[in-house]
Structure 1
Amino acid sequence: MLQSLGLCALAGAQSCPEYIDYSKERHEPFSSGRYQLSYQRPPPECRKFVLPEVEQAIVDMKTTIADPDLFRLFENAFPNTLDTTISWHGYAAGSDEELTFITTGDIVASWLRDSANQLRSYKSLLVANDSHDSLASLYRGAINLQGRYIRTSPFCNAFQAPIESGLPPEFNDWVDKDTVKPAYDRNFVFECKYELDSLAAFLQLSFDYYDKTKDAAFFGKYQWLATVEKILNVTNSLLVGSYNEDGSLVELPYTFQRETTSASETLSNDGTSAPIRSGTGLVRSAFRPSDDSAIYQLLIPSNMQFSSYLDKCAAIAASCASPLAGEMREMASGVRAGIDKYAKVSHDEFGEIYAFEVDGYGSRNMMDDANVPSLLSAPLLGYVDVADETYQNTRKFVLSKMNPYYNWGPAFSGIGGPHQGPGQAWPMSVITSLLTSDDDEEIRLGLRSIVSTTDGLGLVHESINTFNVSDWTRQWFSWANGLFGEMLLDLNERKPHLLSESYQ
């Protein structure tokens, strides 16, 4: 088991390539389909963490997926988090508390959102298991480490490896240009953009583990309840608007300014962003899941995720006999009421739909972004049923040319966002659309578009130029690859006949 020393743990520094370079090249054997996709898994001795159930799932899907290119993409993508991003798995100093440090892939830091979703790709395989070499242990370690991050720096989104790992901190240039309140420790924090979905990701990760294992005892150990209490304190402090009753300015607990040429990398109005109305019941989010700044800080997809998983995790708190359970349910209900009141709007073409961001004064940002949480992903967040009329109307809107960040062209089409700009569609958005679709033809078209746009590399990119499949960003984006694998496993349950077809 390669748990703590990275790709070169056992094979030696000379024999294990750096995956950021390895994944840019094509490797034999190529798939036998039209696109001759490269094999992109590291050599077995260079894989960071090996789970037999994941290897068995790959073997099983080989007999299920008829298209050789589609299978090759699954074979490369599904294990990518385990193969390349479980950078350390061990114990807290002087304790039996498990810790798991998961990087995004090409960036050597751990984002709360990304790491929660990278593990979620394997949720269907998760079962109760006390072994330290198990998938359940990876989940427990990630929950514990995320809890440590949140209790120490609850406004931050990306973090350094724990000191127990022995891994050196990775510093980036841009934070030298950041002015952030409250201050943070760069040896602990990689970046400090406050994103509500980062806190919601911890709740999602916690519920995913509880939902599959029913291991309530785990949550009574260590400091899970203390982490939830910190989340409640922080989010309650961000229910505020911009003005007090007497017209004076509210002193916000978090402000952010960055010296930059990009408007989406900083906040206006001395780091407070556009004014927000008080009393909406919605929680502010300075930044989106894309790490881009919000135009209006009442970001609806993140509030959806937060409300959904705060309510679901109340059952965990109740199992620990904690009075936090009632507070969690009450706040989740209040956020849902705020979404119903302020985010449901009437669209001339699509009827009642959800806005992406609102300010409580009547201003609304009508769009969707490729990153999850998104409006498109609302059913995957457990917030709304996929058949809900308002959701279906919203889905039609965000997958149409009326969404200003829906990008289309002869090579590829999908939702993008300001993170890579207009003209760059994200495969993640297509994958999300397939996870929320019951339409066989939509799913066929989506699978065909993904399998044909890897530029022969056999990995899911971050974004793709809609006119040129060889113009892409991030060939090694672990979360998107895991999500693709999760989607194919989902189709194997819901619509196995589609996996027996050709996508050439």
Structure 2
Amino acid sequence: MRVVSLLFSSLAAPLLVSAACPDYAQYSTQYHAPFSSGRYNLSYQRPVPECRTFISQGVEDVITRMKSAISDPDLYQLFANAYPNTLDTAIKWKGYANGTDEELTFVITGDINAMWLRDSANQMQSYLSVLNASSSPDSIASLYRGVINLQARYLLTSPYCNSFQPPAESGIAPATNGAASQDTVTPQYDNQSVFECKYELDSLAAFLEVSSNYYSATQDISFFAKYSWVDAITTILSVADAMMTPTYAANGSVLTSPYTFTRQTTRASETLENSGLGNPTQNGTGLIRSAFRPSDDSTIYQLFVPANMMFSSQLAATSKIMAQLNTSTSAALATKMERLSSSLRAAIEEHGIVNHPKYGQIYAYEIDGYGSQTIMDDANIPSLLSAPLLSYISSSSQTYQNTRALVLSGDNPYFMRGPVLSAVGGPHDGPRYAWPMASIVRILTSNDSDEITEQLRAVLGSTDGLGLVHESVNSWNVTDWTRQWFSWANGLFGQMILDLEERMPQVLKTSFQ
């Protein structure tokens, strides 16, 4: 029998809410009325307005509008819970840098009280459709500017790190990361500002992405000339240059790596081989190394293809911003960004494509430059499946279609199959656990209405009645899942529904009863 709480629901009494807002980490594991009227009887999971961390009328208007666009009551309940989840629960602090008008936004991932560069960029992307130019501190534009400014600060102080503590101005105490307490990392970092320091190329690309998203929606070029954006780009390019360093010099001597990482752990994916160097990487490919994947798992071979795809694409987009700035370095930086974007694309097409005996020409997940390659895909973005979403390649590309066919088959060692959810997973949660995020990406990169409907049905049925998108779900047991409060996945679900409204509105008229 479900234990039902009304404290956060739309039926809650204001007096209860004014006393205290329950911890969403606990609240989101419980069932709450009003439930959806469909077969899945999905819980309501939104905090009452007084307990939401940021309120956008534009987002509320979208939720209201979609009630007529989505016919199925369960699907609508999942959308209404998931789409606003970052705004409802994850804007931990919003304010200004000390003594300035520089906006700062600290966005947590959900149940982990830290800000990932990648996650926060994607959490903001969920609201791209309602982003427009505004100077109001209550606007989505202000949230974006705050994320960009805070990410720039993080990159300038610890550019090899991926996850960060609250800014000092917030007054929020740093979170404790027990797993990282004995890490040995070069360059060293301050754990008062850094939560975890796993170097991931996609984290740098995420800063470019949130910047290009903000500019494309607002055309606010003046913002990028303020504060630290240009300096952050300069730092990113320096890291990219440094992480092209191979393992060996021409004479066979071992070169000093710009980044090393070791951790005391029982999980191979939580540390790097060879005393923190990682597996050897060959010179001459033109690709940038990544020590860790977007799942925060270590790479096997450090030339991680999806991150290089994303970095190339976003360099091209942000070079157009840089080219419009009138600073002493902007023209040269724009040219460097354009050239690196082009050279990375050429390198991916030359070295990242391999011939598979069954599927033909496909993209490898990772390579090392010596001829070794990892043939798989992981649910986390950037992934090979998400390449069209990265604006790297058209979904109609034959190489992409070949790669997609492998990724969505048993020939991908991390494609999980079962009656609950058949989708890409990954070593982060391991065999059995499919990620709804991968099903969402599959929908976003498909034009097949039958495939899309099938994946929607599977995601809808995977929430265990809680009405939130989980991190992963046991393909064979719907009650066995990880992370009920994972804002990125929830926001991505909402983003996907809005994409379907534009591309294939008839799919949203499907009944899943």
For the aligned pair, the TM-score class normalised by the smaller chain equals: over 0.9
Distance in 2, Cα, partners of 1:31 & 1:15: 26
CA apart distance, 1:338: 1.1
**Aligned counterpart for 1:198 among listed residues 196, 203, 217:** 203
Distance in 2, Cα, partners of 1:140 & 1:464: 34
Paired position in structure 1 for 2:126: 121
1:141 aligns with 2:146: yes
**Aligned counterpart for 1:458 among listed residues 463, 467, 474:** 467
Q: Deviations over 1:261-294 (max 9, x none)?
A: 1000000101011100012110000000000000
Paired position in structure 1 for 2:345: 336
CA apart distance, 1:174: 1.1
Query: Contact (CA 8 Å) 1:240, 1:279: kept in 2 or not?
Result: no
* SS of corresponding position for 1:385: coil
Gaps of 5+ in 2: 1-14
Equivalent residues in 2 for 1:363-374, closer than 5 Å: 363-374=372-383
Residue 400 of structure 2 aligns with an amino acid whose one-letter code is: Y
* SS of corresponding position for 1:271: coil
Q: Deviations over 1:162-181 (max 9, x none)?
A: 01111111111111221001
Distance in 2, Cα, partners of 1:183 & 1:86: 28
Q: Deviations over 1:205-224 (max 9, x none)?
A: 00000111111110011110
1:302 aligns with 2:292: no
1:391 aligns with 2:400: yes
Distance in 1, Cα, partners of 2:206 & 2:20: 36
Query: Contact (CA 8 Å) 1:11, 1:46: kept in 2 or not?
Result: no
1:352 aligns with 2:357: no
Distance in 2, Cα, partners of 1:171 & 1:442: 43
CA apart distance, 1:250: 1.0
1:233 aligns with 2:242: no
CA apart distance, 1:311: 1.1
**Aligned counterpart for 1:433 among listed residues 442, 458, 468:** 442
Q: Deviations over 1:301-342 (max 9, x none)?
A: 000000100111000000104120000011111111110111
Query: Contact (CA 8 Å) 1:407, 1:425: kept in 2 or not?
Result: yes
Paired position in structure 1 for 2:258: 253
**Aligned counterpart for 1:284 among listed residues 286, 289, 295:** 289
CA apart distance, 1:13: 7.6
Structure 1 runs (4+) deviating above 2 angstroms are 10-15
CA apart distance, 1:12: 7.0
* SS of corresponding position for 2:32: coil
Query: Contact (CA 8 Å) 1:11, 1:45: kept in 2 or not?
Result: no
Q: Deviations over 1:101-124 (max 9, x none)?
A: 000000000000000000001111
**Aligned counterpart for 1:49 among listed residues 50, 54, 57:** 54
Query: Contact (CA 8 Å) 1:129, 1:136: kept in 2 or not?
Result: yes
Distance in 2, Cα, partners of 1:448 & 1:272: 44
* SS of corresponding position for 2:406: helix
Gaps of 5+ in 1: 1-9
CA apart distance, 1:391: 0.8
Distance in 1, Cα, partners of 2:200 & 2:80: 32
Paired position in structure 1 for 2:10: none
Paired position in structure 1 for 2:29: 24
Q: Name the TM-score, length of structure 1 as normaliser.
A: 0.97
CA apart distance, 1:15: 2.7
Residue 378 of structure 1 aligns with an amino acid whose one-letter code is: A
Q: Deviations over 1:429-467 (max 9, x none)?
A: 000000000000000000000111100000000000011
Residue 239 of structure 1 aligns with an amino acid whose one-letter code is: M
| Identical aligned residues as a percent | 58
1:378 aligns with 2:387: yes
Query: Contact (CA 8 Å) 1:257, 1:271: kept in 2 or not?
Result: yes
Paired position in structure 2 for 1:3: none
Distance in 2, Cα, partners of 1:103 & 1:192: 16
Equivalent residues in 2 for 1:415-426, closer than 5 Å: 415-426=424-435
Query: Contact (CA 8 Å) 2:271, 2:298: kept in 1 or not?
Result: yes
Query: Contact (CA 8 Å) 2:17, 2:50: kept in 1 or not?
Result: no
* SS of corresponding position for 2:256: coil
Paired position in structure 2 for 1:500: 509
Paired position in structure 1 for 2:71: 66
1:442 aligns with 2:451: yes
Query: Contact (CA 8 Å) 1:369, 1:417: kept in 2 or not?
Result: yes
